[in-house]
Chain A
Amino acid sequence: MIAADRAVQRPPDARLLVVDGAGRLTHAPRARWIDFLRRGDVVVANDAATLPASLAGVHARSRRAIELRLAAWRGGTRAALAFDALLLGGGDYRTRTEARALPPPVAPGDTLCLGPLVARVVRALGHPRLLRVRFDGPPNAFWRGLAAHGRAIQYAHLPEPLPLWDAWSPIAAEPAAFESPSAGFILAWSDIATLGAQGIGFATLTHAAGLSSTGDEALDARLPLDEWYRIPKQTAAAIDEARSRGGRVIAVGTTVVRALEHAANAEGHVRAGAGRARGRIGATTALRVVDGVVTGTHEPGTSHHELLRAFAGDDVLRRAAAALEARGYRTHEFGDSMLVFSDARAGGTARPAPLDTRRSRPACCCCGFRPPPAAVASARAPLRTAPD
């Protein structure tokens, strides 16, 4: 695929590959993404604003240049100002992460001078590039220093420096993410109004999206790190309501899938509140609540692509990848998009059958709709067909 190398969130020629539950592929202009939803669905997006999480500075003891990339919140509260972070040697995003120099060896207690900010090394995390740090001073000074000195994390495929406003999706609210939850770039405010007008719900959660790449294969295999999230009670209620009426839950971004599936119980009820999403979602994951995901066009082998294997079988994803390649779709955060519906409602695939009660429930013969467990349990009342 072609790397999208300009920071334009909604280029007029952006494209969308839709993979439906039966594995059929449809190519569409991305601006028409709402056409693939239907009344009663609920769209859930990640409203985390992106931190300027790249901090250039100096390792005080060795006096060597470093770049610290914050990667995950640690400590009991955000006010603890503790993070897991990636430490790189001198240089910046213009050098491919894989080619960046190793940082100087650091020890617990070492001081990292990052412009107006001072961070202390708490401990190494089993890799020369990964460590836990804590910032000195009160939270207000941290935010002031971050605003003055931090840069949005970016990679060599974008040649121009990435301003913070291009790293914030239109719905950006709490600054919690370390890289842009970029699937949300598709969300024009006029789209959100259209959703409402068409009887499609819109809700948000905040998920602290972490790094997409560390430049080190062994470390990349550990991604994503545990990620903090918060689900408002209104969002949990909107999901319950949509599901109880047979509507689908459409996640904008893999981070939303991660948060919702982590917070969902076996019946697909999502617990409101804060949590920490752990582990990976992949081929053997039984999706409990999410029915479709809007995401970028990811290369096989990445953790984002791995997550899609929970939605569709490998044969379908192979055909999708071939179609993206053949049609010259653009990749990375400012690239084209995919909308992948879970095949659970269409009868599943050849994947090993996961322990998901939803998959064993009978589907409507004409539309594939599966009633939620509550409806099955309740007196065998005539089943509603899915709204169109």
Chain B
Amino acid sequence: MDSAVGAPGCHAYYRHIDNSEVNAVKDQLLETDNMRGLCVLVTGGTSGLGRALVSELRRRGAHVAFVARTPDRVERVASEEPGTLGIVGDVADKDAIHRMALQALGWRGGIDVLVNNASSLGPVPLAPLADTACEAFEAALAANVLGPFRLTKALLGALAASARELRGGIVVNVTSDAAVNAYANWGAYGASKAALLHMTRTFGEECAPLGVRFLAVDPGDMDTPLHALAVPDADRSTLKPPAESAREIADAIAESAAAARTPSAVEAAA
């Protein structure tokens, strides 16, 4: 499987440097529309990392569809990002998955990249496992494991077609260092992200012959609403801006898509 993209500063030691000027220069030097024409679906697209991804992927020329639960926010982001498709739905809801898939696939006839970004913390405020309600644990598994599993299955036909037609066929699952390390009070979240990480690896092994690539990405500790829910008194200046993680993830997708465009990609993967 493709190696996970390791983000620097997974812990709270990340030093926030305002490098927007550096990035502006980089954008001029590098190809900034290296995702032109790719159809990407991002879950959890109205907040935090997902919101930043919608902007970043659109800026690079991708056709971006996104899913989120709240109709007002979906509508707002769709109007802030013209040309994107907003889909209302909850990835934790089994009945919603094919309705989302239908809208995303009907929009432009296919999907080349799926980003499973929507996440649930489990209990809020965070709690030790022994104090975690079963329902809160189940909610974390539903959003962070079953949702990505179901959505991947629903879209795998389109992703495999994308790989065969040398466009893409990429699944990015947003994980966490809590998937690897045990942190007190992060049990439900950590267990669900560990399951997501393992599922990503297994899918990657199984789908390599199809040319569909699976990436697990740990974006680091970001200054997002989810982080604020988990650690309300965090020093935000130590947190990574989600736009920076979004750029890293977009780079990883662009690199993977470039590999998918080489004619031998499918056979090589097999």
Is A232 touching B164 in the complex (CB atoms < 8 A)? yes
Instruction: Choose one: A47, A51, A163, A189; the contact of B161 (CB below 8 Å).
Output: A47
Is B157 touching A49 in the complex (CB atoms < 8 A)? yes
Is A232 touching B158 in the complex (CB atoms < 8 A)? no
For residue B98, CB closer than 8 A to chain A, the reply is yes
For residue A140, CB closer than 8 A to chain B, the reply is yes
Is A147 touching B164 in the complex (CB atoms < 8 A)? no
For residue B82, CB closer than 8 A to chain A, the reply is no
| Contact flags A159-202 to B (C-beta < 8 A → 1, else 0) | 00001110011111111000000000000010011001100000
Is B98 touching A165 in the complex (CB atoms < 8 A)? yes
Is B164 touching A204 in the complex (CB atoms < 8 A)? yes
Is B154 touching A168 in the complex (CB atoms < 8 A)? yes
Cα A164 to Cα B106 in complex, Å, equals 14
Is A147 touching B99 in the complex (CB atoms < 8 A)? yes
Chain B residues contacting A170 (CB-CB under 8 Å) are 156-157
Cα A236 to Cα B38 in complex, Å, equals 23
Chain A residues contacting B161 (CB-CB under 8 Å) are 47, 171, 173-174, 204, 232
Cα A232 to Cα B161 in complex, Å, equals 9
Chain B residues contacting A169 (CB-CB under 8 Å) are 157
Is B102 touching A174 in the complex (CB atoms < 8 A)? no
How many chain-A residues does the 8 Å CB contact rule pick out? Answer: 33
For residue A139, CB closer than 8 A to chain B, the reply is yes
For residue B103, CB closer than 8 A to chain A, the reply is yes
Known A170-B157, A189-B156, A234-B165; contact A164-B210, beta-carbon cutoff 8 A: no
For residue B12, CB closer than 8 A to chain A, the reply is no
Known A164-B98, A165-B154, A203-B164; contact A143-B210, beta-carbon cutoff 8 A: no
Chain A residues contacting B99 (CB-CB under 8 Å) are 147-148, 164
Chain A residues contacting B100 (CB-CB under 8 Å) are 147
For residue A146, CB closer than 8 A to chain B, the reply is yes
Cα A170 to Cα B103 in complex, Å, equals 18
Cα A204 to Cα B97 in complex, Å, equals 24
**Smallest CB–CB gap between A46 and chain B, Å?**
11
Output the nearest chain A residue to B88 by Cβ-Cβ distance. A144
Instruction: Choose one: B88, B102, B156, B270; the contact of A196 (CB below 8 Å).
Output: B270
Is B154 touching A147 in the complex (CB atoms < 8 A)? no
Q: Which of B106, B156, B206, B209 has the most CB of A within 10 A?
A: B106
Is B154 touching A146 in the complex (CB atoms < 8 A)? no
| Contact flags B80-115 to A (C-beta < 8 A → 1, else 0) | 000001011000000001111111011101100000
Known A164-B99, A169-B157, A196-B270; contact A174-B105, beta-carbon cutoff 8 A: yes
CB contacts under 8 Å to B, within A112-158, are: 139-140, 142-144, 146-148
For residue A21, CB closer than 8 A to chain B, the reply is no
For residue A253, CB closer than 8 A to chain B, the reply is no
Output the nearest chain B residue to A166 by Cβ-Cβ distance. B98
Output the nearest chain A residue to B97 by Cβ-Cβ distance. A165
**Smallest CB–CB gap between A200 and chain B, Å?**
13
For residue B166, CB closer than 8 A to chain A, the reply is yes
Cα A215 to Cα B206 in complex, Å, equals 44
For residue A52, CB closer than 8 A to chain B, the reply is yes
Cα A52 to Cα B105 in complex, Å, equals 13
Chain A residues contacting B217 (CB-CB under 8 Å) are none
Is B209 touching A174 in the complex (CB atoms < 8 A)? no
For residue B160, CB closer than 8 A to chain A, the reply is yes
Cα A115 to Cα B206 in complex, Å, equals 41
**Smallest CB–CB gap between B63 and chain A, Å?**
12
Is A174 touching B85 in the complex (CB atoms < 8 A)? no
Chain B residues contacting A165 (CB-CB under 8 Å) are 97-98, 154
Instruction: Choose one: B102, B166, B209, B210; the contact of A175 (CB below 8 Å).
Output: B102
A/B interface sample: 22 pairs, CB < 8 A: A78-B109, A139-B106, A140-B103, A142-B106, A143-B107, A144-B103, A147-B100, A147-B102, A164-B102, A165-B97, A168-B98, A170-B157, A171-B161, A172-B158, A173-B158, A174-B106, A174-B109, A175-B105, A192-B209, A203-B164, A204-B164, A234-B166
> A146-B102, A203-B164, A204-B161 given. 6 additional CB < 8 A pairs?
A143-B102, A147-B103, A164-B102, A168-B98, A168-B154, A174-B109
Residues of B participating in the A interface, judged by any CB pair closer than 8 Å: 85, 87-88, 97-103, 105-107, 109-110, 154, 156-158, 160-161, 164-166, 206, 209-210, 270
